[in-house]
Chains A and B, each alone.
Chain A
């Protein structure tokens, strides 16, 4: 039996999977290693058999004697039943792990994550919002998912978990990180223009650090207006489309030195970038589209998404980019 485990362990190193961040990830990888091993054996039998016969029975002359074998019931039963048994074993093994993945633990730390074109937003029970997901190590975390516009899918490779975020309903996933560090979070359901950029980080920190972080973040409302604006800019992932430190175009126009400048619009008009222009463009980006970014703006409308105070803070922040 030992050799089997050592085989599985060795195979594990060869699976090219990301760091295992949780116990479930290790269990998934063990099953995957078993699947790779059985697949490798199946491929060796099937492809090896094919190549062996092909070489051995290569045509020597046009009058080669060939065998006339129509079937062999015993063989056929064997090669139907053996695969079936293997399939049922991996099915059951998979079911056990899947059941644990889907069974939400009680007393888990519940965090809300919302998908939106094209950013994730994490919200904690005390009202803290963050573009990253920050969680304490060694604790059951339940992520309640929703989406504001189209389908998204939250995928954390290192934890082997993934769940679609569906507009109009809640879905959920859970994990328990047993390693501290930073892990990638991807969107894996195609959601349009900047789908490829809908990447964020999962930060796993110690419980103390997590508590400290949560308090610091909740004190954001005491910050000066422009700094609060910078926070909103970060939380809403505005930076995935707008540059702030240089004039280069990313997906939308750069905001560097934008305030106070003039902009040419799609319809040939010219407009000064002032408080009211910024306000209108944030809330309804299609109202005035900068030349070269039409006919329809790629930016989602933030009408109803941001509070009055958040819009004002954002504008104050954008003003600081023109100094």
Chain B
């Protein structure tokens, strides 16, 4: 057993803060991401709660004109808060979230490797995220940015906030994303253990593989777009500003050419997690391994050609709208295939309702709703009505929060014993699920109806007709807040006084469970030889 016999593992192998900040161990870097992303999530979540609090009641004066309300003294402060909520959650939580924490920690373990292909690049990518995040947060103390996370021109050129610094921050965080993607692709191609063929890889690895391709191919487009925007702000080069002869709609094309694939950068890793959780907690082999694996690649491919569905009313031609609507329908198919396969996996299984399994089922519940409303939005005239209303806000929260964040929570509980060598309290973890799940639906379901009624997004105030549903939505946000707080408590409690975790508490078949909890620095005492697929539950 080598080191393990002496109780040495990756956590206690070296001591002191510097040993963490300079570590090249993929597991330690995964933990660095875990801690920092958790922190960003708390900041972004606090902004969300404040936004909802502002929207609790309309603040309309006698003349029927909107005035700023109780929480935010001016409309500008609200606009800034929504910008930080969006930018932090997208660029600092959901995009890096699952790939950087769990991809880093578990992808090498799942394919039987000692580390990722480029450990130094791996550490560098964490530092890039930190530099970018520091710059983004610095803008809060300089001139706050109020453009929304989308930076649409020409507003982003005219506004007085520190937009250039914020954009530079996103540029640098994008490089972090590219580095991680490169690393994962190289690791999967070069470092698989003997016998670990592509078709024996766990589906989480397939999902990370597809995500990485998107990160490497799509992020440079965003980087170039942001550079152009900085050039325009700093030197007055006319690319997007009509006053200088530019085209503001061009920015939207560039932006969504990255940001639509980015939606799949956010959701594909979550889908990978779900495949792991469902098989483990129903003790059953996955239904349709090949279909799920290749549908990830299919989604990744088609996702490059659907960006125009964000722009049906932007002034693009009718023909463009029709083509993008059609292609968007095609993305729906591989997504539907995954849903059916997951549900078929449960058939004749032996299902245990751990917190992770509850989060996985929560994911499926919410993702179905996010999915069908996504199809609605792909239908041209329906989107004309719903575009930029609360219907869209509800839809993408169902996919991004109901999807990605639910999977992230499921992943935390699933892999916690392996990462920290301790067990968590199922009671607390299940309680967090109940609050998050119910709170989520109470918050976001009414927003579908609000959107149908015509309430535009990014409004700090609204007409009285929207009041009831906004009140319900705000109350829901408190439930979500409580749910995540319980989750945080459960993690802290487990770290402080959790029972020692066995190597394989869930009886899972994938490789990461076939080494100690927590793993030794070199992952496995003997190089694994793989002779069968990842989910051979018989």
Residues of A that sit less than 8 Å from B by CB: 15-18, 24, 27-28, 31-32, 35, 38-39, 42-43, 46-47, 49-50, 53-54, 57-60, 62, 64-72, 75-76, 79-80, 83-84, 87-88, 90-91, 93-95, 97-99, 101-102, 149-151, 153, 155, 157-158, 160-164, 166-169, 171, 184, 186-197, 199, 239-240, 243, 248, 250-251, 296, 298
User: Interface residues of B, CB < 8 Å — how many?
Assistant: 97
Could you tell me if B382 and A32 are in contact, using CB atoms closer than 8 angstroms? Answer: yes
Q: Can you name the residue of chain B whose Cβ is closest to the Cβ of A158?
A: B454
Besides the known contacts A39-B372, A167-B248, 14 further A-B residue pairs in the complex with CB atoms under 8 A apart: A31-B381, A35-B376, A39-B375, A50-B342, A53-B349, A57-B350, A64-B283, A70-B285, A76-B291, A101-B381, A151-B153, A168-B247, A188-B388, A251-B67
Cβ–Cβ < 8 Å partners of B283 in chain A: 59, 64, 66
Cβ–Cβ < 8 Å partners of A191 in chain B: 155
Is B453 part of the binding interface, using a Cβ–Cβ cutoff of 8 Å?
yes
> Could you tell me the distance between the alpha carbons of A95 and B347 in the complex, rounded to whole angstroms?
39
Could you tell me if B351 and A164 are in contact, using CB atoms closer than 8 angstroms? Answer: no
Q: Can you name the residue of chain A whose Cβ is closest to the Cβ of B350?
A: A64
Q: Which of B313-331 contact A (CB under 8 A)?
A: 313-315, 318, 321-322, 325-326, 329-330
Is B343 part of the binding interface, using a Cβ–Cβ cutoff of 8 Å?
yes
Could you tell me if B384 and A42 are in contact, using CB atoms closer than 8 angstroms? Answer: no
Q: Can you name the residue of chain A whose Cβ is closest to the Cβ of B78?
A: A196
Could you tell me if B154 and A160 are in contact, using CB atoms closer than 8 angstroms? Answer: no
Could you tell me if B247 and A80 are in contact, using CB atoms closer than 8 angstroms? Answer: no
Is B457 part of the binding interface, using a Cβ–Cβ cutoff of 8 Å?
yes
Cβ–Cβ < 8 Å partners of A62 in chain B: 507
Could you tell me if A43 and B368 are in contact, using CB atoms closer than 8 angstroms? Answer: yes
Q: What are 11 A-B pairs at a CB distance below 8 A?
A: A31-B379, A35-B375, A57-B346, A64-B350, A65-B350, A67-B347, A68-B537, A70-B287, A87-B332, A95-B322, A151-B155
Could you tell me if A98 and B321 are in contact, using CB atoms closer than 8 angstroms? Answer: yes
Could you tell me if A28 and B152 are in contact, using CB atoms closer than 8 angstroms? Answer: no
Could you tell me if B288 and A71 are in contact, using CB atoms closer than 8 angstroms? Answer: yes
Could you tell me if A17 and B453 are in contact, using CB atoms closer than 8 angstroms? Answer: yes
Which 4 residue pairs are nearest across A and B when measured between Cβ atoms? A168-B242, A157-B454, A64-B350, A67-B348
Is B337 part of the binding interface, using a Cβ–Cβ cutoff of 8 Å?
yes
Q: Can you name the residue of chain A whose Cβ is closest to the Cβ of B249?
A: A166
Is B460 part of the binding interface, using a Cβ–Cβ cutoff of 8 Å?
yes
Cβ–Cβ < 8 Å partners of B456 in chain A: 155, 186-188
Is B27 part of the binding interface, using a Cβ–Cβ cutoff of 8 Å?
no
Smallest beta-carbon distance B503→chain A, Å: 17
Smallest beta-carbon distance A141→chain B, Å: 16
Smallest beta-carbon distance A132→chain B, Å: 13
Q: Interface of chain A, helix or strand or loop or mixed?
A: mixed
Q: Can you name the residue of chain B whose Cβ is closest to the Cβ of A54?
A: B351
Q: Can you name the residue of chain B whose Cβ is closest to the Cβ of A163?
A: B313
Q: Can you name the residue of chain A whose Cβ is closest to the Cβ of B150?
A: A190
**Known contacts A57-B347, A150-B154, A193-B75; is-contact A71 B453 (Cβ 8 Å):** no
> Could you tell me the distance between the alpha carbons of A195 and B146 in the complex, rounded to whole angstroms?
12
> Could you tell me the distance between the alpha carbons of A150 and B290 in the complex, rounded to whole angstroms?
48
Is B134 part of the binding interface, using a Cβ–Cβ cutoff of 8 Å?
no
**Known contacts A67-B347, A164-B315; is-contact A197 B66 (Cβ 8 Å):** yes
Q: Can you name the residue of chain A whose Cβ is closest to the Cβ of B58?
A: A196
Q: Which of B437-461 contact A (CB under 8 A)?
A: 449, 452-454, 456-461
> Could you tell me the distance between the alpha carbons of A190 and B249 in the complex, rounded to whole angstroms?
14
Could you tell me if B325 and A95 are in contact, using CB atoms closer than 8 angstroms? Answer: yes
Could you tell me if A250 and B61 are in contact, using CB atoms closer than 8 angstroms? Answer: yes
Is B289 part of the binding interface, using a Cβ–Cβ cutoff of 8 Å?
yes
Q: Which listed residue, B159, B381, B388, B457, touches A94 by the CB 8 Å rule?
A: B381
> Could you tell me the distance between the alpha carbons of A15 and B330 in the complex, rounded to whole angstroms?
26
> Could you tell me the distance between the alpha carbons of A99 and B249 in the complex, rounded to whole angstroms?
21
Smallest beta-carbon distance B382→chain A, Å: 6
Could you tell me if A17 and B452 are in contact, using CB atoms closer than 8 angstroms? Answer: yes
Smallest beta-carbon distance B456→chain A, Å: 4
**Known contacts A69-B285, A184-B454; is-contact A192 B159 (Cβ 8 Å):** yes
Is B302 part of the binding interface, using a Cβ–Cβ cutoff of 8 Å?
no
Could you tell me if B379 and A49 are in contact, using CB atoms closer than 8 angstroms? Answer: no
> Could you tell me the distance between the alpha carbons of A97 and B325 in the complex, rounded to whole angstroms?
13
Could you tell me if A79 and B462 are in contact, using CB atoms closer than 8 angstroms? Answer: no
Cβ–Cβ < 8 Å partners of A64 in chain B: 283, 350
Smallest beta-carbon distance A149→chain B, Å: 7
**Known contacts A94-B381, A160-B381; is-contact A193 B74 (Cβ 8 Å):** yes
Smallest beta-carbon distance A255→chain B, Å: 13
Q: Which of B331-362 contact A (CB under 8 A)?
A: 332-333, 336-337, 339-344, 346-353, 361
Could you tell me if A196 and B248 are in contact, using CB atoms closer than 8 angstroms? Answer: no
Cβ–Cβ < 8 Å partners of B342 in chain A: 50
Cβ–Cβ < 8 Å partners of A91 in chain B: 325-326, 329, 378-379
Is B239 part of the binding interface, using a Cβ–Cβ cutoff of 8 Å?
no
